[in-house]
Chains A and B, each alone.
Chain A
């Protein structure tokens, strides 16, 4: 398996623009997580899905953030409108509860977002 795939790897945009981050989890994994990483706040969980259903979005900072998982192999995190304080690295992770190592989360390479 190729692991968790994220695109784009880098995104530079201007304040006010819409940004869409994409994630393809590992095939067969039933959980998908979106994290944001900054120097100040570390790794923060934004939202997670189980079998494509959002379970907890309490970490989503504002209504400007939204996430979807239309099927088991694809998820998006959208920021509209983007602001400079959204600049961070966004990670997607997945895990499978049906394996002996069901607690292990597998992280993608991340998307580095810069909002000017």
Chain B
């Protein structure tokens, strides 16, 4: 089955700095890679995703990159703000009806003012 590795497990940055979280996956058939943000006491919420036919995707201050050859993908957050503090999860799946998400272990991001 799929295995997703995520690092770092914790990341502390100063407000305004950039943050990068990296993930690797094992199943070359995976072609859908979402990122979820989990705030304290809440369920994970999708913030951005990328499919294997795209190498990079941006949405305001966040961006994801995908390298299918190397089987890794990354989340980039620029101009970090205190409200970006949360746990971030990467995931991978095949893009089919019965496909399920395999999640990484999560990265706790702390943005200090």
Docked-complex contact A42 and B34, CB < 8 angstroms = no
Interface of B is mostly: loop
Q: Which residues of chain B are near A106, meaning CB under 8 Å?
A: 46
Interface size on A, residues (CB 8 A): 20
CB of A67 closer than 8 Å to a CB of B: no
Cβ-defined partner of A50 (8 Å) among B49, B98, B105: B98
Interface residues of B (CB under 8 A from A): 32, 34, 36, 41-46, 49, 89, 93, 95, 97-106
A92–chain B nearest beta-carbon distance, Å? 8
Q: Which residues of chain A are near B43, meaning CB under 8 Å?
A: 4, 91, 93, 107-110
CB of A55 closer than 8 Å to a CB of B: yes
Docked-complex contact B49 and A107, CB < 8 angstroms = no
Contacts between chains A and B (CB distance < 8 A), count: 46
Interface residues of A (CB under 8 A from B): 4, 33, 42-43, 45, 48, 50, 55-56, 91, 93, 97, 103-110
Cβ-defined partner of B101 (8 Å) among A4, A56, A105: A105
Docked-complex contact B98 and A42, CB < 8 angstroms = no
Docked-complex contact B98 and A55, CB < 8 angstroms = yes
Q: How far is the CA of A103 from the CA of B92 in the complex (A)?
A: 11
B77–chain A nearest beta-carbon distance, Å? 20
Starting from the known contacts A45-B102, A107-B43, 11 additional A-B residue pairs (CB-CB under 8 Å) come to A42-B104, A42-B105, A43-B89, A43-B106, A91-B43, A103-B32, A103-B93, A104-B34, A104-B49, A109-B42, A109-B43
